[in-house]
């Protein structure tokens, strides 16, 4: 995620970091060259005039807009749902910790308290690594110790397995009938965390149907490719400027939508899972009255991962 | 579902598998021929000029866009809802398994544990077959054994019947008043699974109202049919290219929307129910510390069923 | 609801049943005549040319599109919400039945079991009749017997009254403190059904604000009425074809939206409440291991009521 | 709310009551005069031609459409949410009444029953008056008696205060540990009603941000004001007809959106809170087997308040 | 939030406070100057005609509309979600207070009652300050006393910490098994408040992806910059008026969307957190039958903070 203080309206026009401009420079240069060529040849190819009226573009623009809107909305909905799932994980992790500290027999025992808190934190980190396809070993070792980390790191669904363990421990602590309602209260929060995990797995494993991406991609590029020949008669030497700018908006929107649709990636516009996992760690530890690590800060290119 | 690694922007333009191009080739060829004919006859039919100005297309394009947007959004909403229902089934199946392993008296008994786990898994497979209209016998036999499979395979609503059985068994295990809250906890997860089943049945049994499909279909084809005569004057020999491309985007969008609106089908853009059911099986078994089968991989045409 | 197997793209263009064409034939004929007249008079009325340029239609088309999109989305949202409410009724009815069979003391008593199951089924049928404004007596007699039917048929809110009765009976069966959690579990499902009833009543009693319908209606017809005079200059003898087709798409969309916005009606695109109530009956009875009636099949005009 | 039987397509074009035409007549007459003037002066002002091409309107129409769609959707979402909150109030009121009648000790006491039922009904009426800013005294007196009415009418949040009272009484009736689950069940419904109250207060106290209204308002009127000068060249003497009609659709949509955005008002397209409160009263009393008052009927101008 | 009584349609056109006009005056003046210049030079720059046809603007306007709609909807969704979270905080605060007064042992003790009520109120104020990045010390001191304020003011997540304290105290008061269900009931409301806190933190920490803002910003300004050269031929001396007005609508919409997307800010169109926190205080105190402070009123510029 890009974290930048709001710029003045003027400086905002010339920002480089955080716009997606970097990733689409090659295509824009190609289109710039093509349209410059079109200006010099007055829109002819091999001496033959390319007959494209602006009206055709209006027709075509219609379906293009339909695709762009759909694709962008669907992508952003994924982003928001993923963010909400992580937000709910934080909420449930806090609630569970706070409930343990208020209700569970043996809650005065600092070791037990920390053991449970760490398993909750470890589940958050394990989820992050599972979603990004990265290796969770380091984080698990740091939080749970090397022995426990080794025991679970080969599981296919590590976060769920960790939560099963939390549930098991708590069931042990609250096994009398008198603790029935406490057990259930705690179970509800564990279940809440499992829902977040399940939601993230679902988003990860089911992208927007591939055919939509192909169709939008082709429409965008076909549109950009034809554009110089449609504009050259009326816009003359301004054609390259207009073409590159319009192409920029279209290709950039597709690029942003791509990044946002894969919210667990590490692209500049994906979710800052590192920072979110850290917040979960901080908040759970603070509730336990432990020292808390510092918040993550955006790096030099204003990116928070 | 099509599972392909993201391609470069250039190769994405020429992908064959996973675009819906295969299914709409005949219509596109017909439209290509028609527009070529229109070029040769300069837009006349039996010597009579077809008077279609681009302005008419703008008017018509408006309602077309309204239909396309609606139809596509409604279809995708069905896809997402269906996927979410299956995702929730996985979440509830995990929670129920994990709760059984933590709370139910007799949970040390491996046989009992597996019996319950298998009924949950069988419900997922039975749901898949019910939604696809395929025969569940093979899967039920494999998971529950031939005797049990025979007893339930003729039921009209097999998954619900299986869950009733799970509920019954658990009620038996937790029948003292002391187990009241545990019984309810388990019941909540069974209820959650029944909600997913009900949601899938609803999506399956209530398509998007038929009249919408007819209206969109007619609008799309009428538009594509008139297009060559509207463009031939201004686009000359480029008409076939433009017509086929615009028709491609329109007809392809309709085709994708059709596939996506029937998310339990086996079309390339439908849900990969086989893979999802396998994930449920894997996750439930892993929680029971049993060996787990391999994940399903996409086949040669990148399709996951 | 229209239930038809998917047609080939070609046959789909000429379908009669299930399109709304039947209900809007008179208007289309009138508009056809009007535009034919406009062709013959070259767009003059009493010798005076009607000065309408296509540009005016673009301006006007904009607000028309805004209205159409809104009206259609609002209507479809009602349809979906109504369908979901009925789907949730089925889910809750199943859950309640299944819970009664697993937990309630005296559940071995077949008569008691059936009595409760029948009251649930009767509530579904009573809701259907309440929403359609039809007479529930026949169905209530069939399911509950004539005596009971007579006692409740004059209530203003029959389904709610029936569920109160179910709640009462269950409260009676589970009145010791030990049954506290079971009582509540059952109550939750009854409450769920009451939510579905309330949602349906709400949809029924609060249509889309009338002023929207009036505004859209006037816009559509004004547009269709002016259309021939706007197109006649550029489209000449094709004007009637274009006008009738564009009018067809607009008026048909309004007609579909009207049908869909009243989802409890008996129009071809309304919900098949008969079939849904039957499904509820089937599923509840199957859970009780009773014989189940056949599913309803669409009639000769492919309509399921 | 306007309640009218569906009219034939033809009569629907000339309806007066229930369209918002009444409230916007002055503006339309002004615009009609202006456009008539523009026709006579051939689009000149003080002898100077106003140079406005239809293309400018297309540009401008774009942002106008964006505003209209947003404003209308946001308004309608408020309307629907408000209606749903009231619908949920009804559902919770019914559930609470029905639960009291089934579970609460002392439920055979008719006086107690009615006392609780009346407090629920009074909360509904008090909410109505709070939202409309009207005086609740009359209704509170009628339902609760003058003494009780006097004690609460000066509270800032009467409905919440009434529900606190219901909660208190029920807590009193169910104070043994055995009644723990019943107490909670009842509390859940009271909580549900408090949610509805909170939702309504939220809608009431947070209108759509004012700047949106200003921006849309100015855009609509600027558009309507410029329209005659843009159309006069191509539409000649038809200009007033077109201008008034297009202005009618735009201004009417803004007017409807305004009414709908304030769903607790008494405008023709606001919610019929009187009728809804009456339905709550009827349904709660019917569950108590008491006589029920008649439903409210729309008045002479088809309006239900 | 701007709170103004509805104005007549005419005065609404000339409102200054509450429109965003103030914040965008400089840009509008610049664009006004530019377009005046364009009129005087007849659209030439350094004697060279800038060839921009209105058709190019139609093409460009399309993507602009797509961006504007998306950006505005996403912003408003944040506003609504933030408002709803605060609304739910109020609902949960009321429910918790009312439950404490009805069920908790020792509820007759006024001091205890007020202590708990004040912690709830303090959580609301602490949340406000956390979201606005302002200093909570003053408010905490006023509500909780200086000693308690000092103990918690350095926590990273003050509101969550306060609620943990409430939970702890309540756990203490209801620690026997008999109070199991009461404890849980209360816990549910605390959890509800924690959800609201989590939701607000999520909205605050995850803005709309930065790249969207950049892209929209550039599109809007590029469009406004080119506009005079595209309109000057057809609109002549009217160009500045049209350009400034169209630019006003575009830039104002972007400005409003910016304010609304940061709903916890202090811009005129952000949420009135001061007033909402006061309402929470008032309602909780009224339930405790304590004196309540006055509601906040909008200041001289009609703004409620």
Q: What is the pLDDT, as a whole number, of residue D291?
A: 92
Chain B residues touching residue C1 (CB < 8 angstroms): 206, 209-210
To probe the interface with E, which of D49, D52, D183, D205 has the most E CB atoms within 10 Å?
D205
Verify whether the Cβ–Cβ distance E101 to D70 is below 8 Å.
no
Domain ranges for chain C: 11-287
pLDDT band at A99 (very low <50, low <70, confident <90, very high): very high
> With contacts defined as CB-CB under 8 Å, which chain C residues touch D287?
160-161, 164
CA neighbor of A269 nearest in space, from A256, A252, A279, A254: A256
What residues of A are in contact with residue E187 (Cβ under 8 Å)? 99, 185
CB-nearest to A156 from B237, B256, B292 is B292
In whole angstroms, give the CA distance from residue A26 to residue C219: 48
Alpha helical stretches, state H, E206-297: 210-235, 239-261, 273-287
Confidence of residue A125 (pLDDT cuts 50, 70, 90): very high
Q: Point out the residue among C64, C181, C234 whose CB comes nearest to the CB of B180.
A: C181
Percentage of the residues of chain A whose pLDDT score is greater than 70: 100
pLDDT tens string A138-191? 999 999 999 999 999 889 999 999 999 999 999 999 888 778 889 999 999 999
Q: Does A59 touch chain B (CB under 8 A)?
A: yes
- Residue closest to C57 by CA, chosen among D127, D90, B277, B62: B62
Q: Do C91 and B56 touch (CB under 8 A)?
A: no
Q: How far is C157 from chain B (nearest CA, A)?
A: 26
DSSP class of residue E304? -
**Interface with A, mutate which of E127, E155, E191 (most A CBs under 10 A):** E191
CB contact B66 to C (< 8 Å): yes
- DSSP H helical segments within chain A, as ranges? 21-40, 54-103, 110-132, 137-144, 146-152, 158-173, 180-205, 210-235, 239-261, 273-287
Q: What are phi and psi of B283, to 5 degrees?
A: -70, -40
Q: Is C68 within 8 Å of B65 when comparing Cβ atoms?
A: no
Rounded to a whole number of angstroms, the distance between the first and last alpha carbons of chain C is 6
Chain D residues with CB-CB distance to E184 below 8 A: 184
Most A-contacting residue of E76, E80, E194, E218 (CB-CB within 10 A), to test interface: E218
Instruction: Point out the residue among D56, D160, D171 whose CB comes nearest to the CB of E242.
Output: D56
User: Residue C161 has what pLDDT?
Assistant: 94
pLDDT tens for chain C, 305 residues long, are: 888 877 777 787 777 777 788 888 998 999 999 999 988 888 787 777 777 777 777 778 878 888 899 999 999 999 999 999 999 999 999 999 999 999 998 888 889 999 999 999 999 999 999 999 999 999 999 999 999 999 998 899 999 999 999 999 999 998 887 788 899 999 999 999 999 999 999 999 999 999 998 899 999 999 998 888 888 888 788 889 889 999 999 999 999 999 999 999 988 899 999 999 999 999 999 999 999 999 998 887 888 88
Question: Is B68 in the A-facing interface, judged by CB distances under 8 Å?
Answer: yes
Q: Does the beta carbon of A290 lie under 8 angstroms from any beta carbon of chain E?
A: no
pLDDT of residue C34: 92
> pLDDT tens digits for E202-252?
999 999 999 998 899 999 999 998 888 888 888 788 889 889 999 999 999
Q: Is C58 in CB contact (< 8 Å) with chain B?
A: yes
DSSP code per residue over D9-23: TTGGGG--BTBSHHH
Q: How far is CA A66 from the centre of its chain?
A: 24
Task: Give me the pLDDT at residue B130, please.
Answer: 96
Q: What is the DSSP letter of E2?
A: B
Residue D292 touches partner C, C-beta closer than 8 Å: yes
Contact status, residue A96 vs residue A103, Cβ threshold 8 Å: no
Beta carbons of D287 and C167 less than 8 Å apart? no
Q: Under DSSP, is residue D2 helix (H, G, I), strand (E, B) or coil?
A: strand
- CB-based contact E91 D195, cutoff 8 Å: yes
Degrees (nearest 5) of the Cα angle D190, D196, D199? 140
DSSP string of C26-89?
HHHHHHHHHHHHHHHTTTEETTEE----HHHHHHHHHHHHHHHHHHHHHHHHHHHHHHHHHHHH
SS3 assignment, position B274: helix
Closest of C277, C130, C102 to residue C189, by C-alpha: C102
Nearest C-alpha in E relative to D78: E80
Which residues in chain B are contacts of C16 at CB distance < 8 A? Answer: none
- Residue A61 touches partner E, C-beta closer than 8 Å: yes
Across the interface, of D58, D180, D199, the residue whose CB is closest to E58 is D58
Nearest to B155 among C13, C250, C286 (CB): C286
Query: Looking at the complex, does the CB of residue B161 fall below 8 Å from at least one CB of chain C?
Result: yes
Residues of chain C neighbouring D79 (CB-CB closer than 8 A): 209
pLDDT, mean of residues E45-60 = 77
pLDDT in tens, D216-238: 999 999 999 888 888 888 888 88
Are C63 and D68 inside 8 Å of each other by CB? yes
Tell me which of B143-152, C229-238, E280-289 is least confident. C229-238
Question: C-contacting residues of D 227-266, CB under 8 Å?
Answer: 227, 231, 234-238, 242, 245-246, 249-250, 252-253, 256, 259-260
Q: Please indicate whether, in this complex, the C-beta atoms of E59 and A64 are within 8 angstroms of each other.
A: no
Chains that touch A (3 or more CB pairs under 8 A): B, E
Instruction: Give residue D10's pLDDT band: very low, low, confident or very high (50, 70, 90).
Output: confident
Rounded mean pLDDT, E109-116? 91
For strand D44-45 and strand D48-49, is the pairing parallel, antiparallel, or unpaired? antiparallel
Banded model confidence at residue B303, pLDDT cuts 50, 70, 90: confident
Interface test mutation site (partner C, options D1, D9, D117, max chain C beta carbons within 10 A): D9
What's the N-to-C CA distance of chain B in angstroms? 6
Give the closest-approach CA distance of E28 to chain A in angstroms. 12
CB pairs under 8 A between A and B: 173
Q: Do D235 and C56 touch (CB under 8 A)?
A: yes
Q: What angle do CA C87, B196, C159 make, to 5 degrees?
A: 25
Q: How far apart are CA D75 and CA D78, in angstroms?
A: 5
Cα distance between residue A130 and residue C236, in whole Å = 65
Nearest CB to E91 within list D183, D194, D209: D194
- Of the candidates A87, A78, A93, A72, the residue with the CA atom closest to the CA atom of residue A213: A72
Question: Between the CA atoms of D80, D82, D87 and D89, what dihedral angle is there, to the nearest 10 degrees?
Answer: 160
What distance in Å separates the CA atoms of residue C257 and residue C274, rounded to the nearest whole number? 21
D187 part of contact set with chain E, CB < 8 Å? yes
Interface test with B, best of C93, C249, C264, C283 (most B CBs within 10 A): C249
Residue A151 contacts B, CB cutoff 8 Å: no
Distance from CA of E98 to the nearest CA of D (A): 6
CB contact under 8 A, E13 and D199: no
Q: What is the pLDDT of residues A25-34, one digit of tens each?
A: 998 999 999 9
Size of interface D-E (CB pairs under 8 A): 171
Band of the pLDDT at A250, cuts 50, 70, 90? very high
E48: closest CA of chain D, how far (Å): 23
Query: Can you tell me the ipTM of this complex?
Result: 0.95
Q: Verify whether the Cβ–Cβ distance A65 to E63 is below 8 Å.
A: yes
CA-based nearest distance E154→chain D, Å: 32
Please indicate whether residue D68 or residue B234 has the higher confidence score (pLDDT).
Answer: D68
Q: How confident is the model at residue E181 (pLDDT cuts 50, 70, 90)?
A: confident
Residue E170 distance to chain A (closest CA, Å): 9
């Amino acid at each position: 995620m890009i974290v930048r203080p709001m710029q003045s309206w003027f400086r905002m026009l010339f920002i480089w970091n955080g716009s997606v401009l970097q990733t689409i420079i090659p295509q824009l240069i190609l289109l710039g060259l093509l349209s410059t060529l079109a200006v010099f040849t007055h829109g002819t190819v091999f001496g033959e005039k390319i007959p494209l009226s602006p009206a055709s573009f209006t027709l075509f623009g219609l379906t293009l807009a339909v695709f762009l809107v759909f694709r962008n909305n669907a992508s952003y909905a994924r982003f928001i749902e993923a963010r909400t799932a992580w937000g709910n994980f934080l909420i449930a992790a806090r609630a569970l910790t706070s409930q343990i500290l208020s209700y569970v027999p043996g809650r005065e025992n600092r070791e037990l308290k920390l053991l449970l808190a760490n398993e909750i934190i470890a589940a958050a980190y394990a989820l992050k690594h599972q979603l990004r396809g990265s290796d969770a070993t380091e984080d698990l070792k740091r939080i749970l110790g090397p022995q426990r980390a080794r025991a679970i790191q080969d599981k296919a669904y590590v976060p769920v397995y960790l939560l099963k363990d939390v549930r098991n421990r708590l069931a042990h602590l609250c096994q009398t009938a008198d603790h029935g309602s406490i057990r259930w209260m705690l179970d509800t929060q564990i279940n809440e965390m499992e829902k977040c995990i399940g939601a993230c797995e679902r988003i990860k494993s089911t992208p927007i149907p591939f055919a939509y991406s192909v169709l939008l991609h082709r429409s965008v590029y076909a549109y950009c490719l034809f554009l110089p020949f449609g504009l050259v008669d009326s816009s003359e030497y301004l054609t390259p400027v207009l073409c590159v700018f319009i192409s920029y908006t279209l290709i950039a929107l597709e690029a942003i939508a791509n990044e946002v649709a894969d919210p667990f990636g590490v692209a500049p516009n994906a979710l800052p899972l590192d920072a979110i996992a850290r917040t979960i760690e901080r908040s759970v530890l603070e509730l336990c009255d432990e020292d808390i690590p510092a918040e993550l800060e955006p790096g030099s290119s204003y990116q928070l991962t």
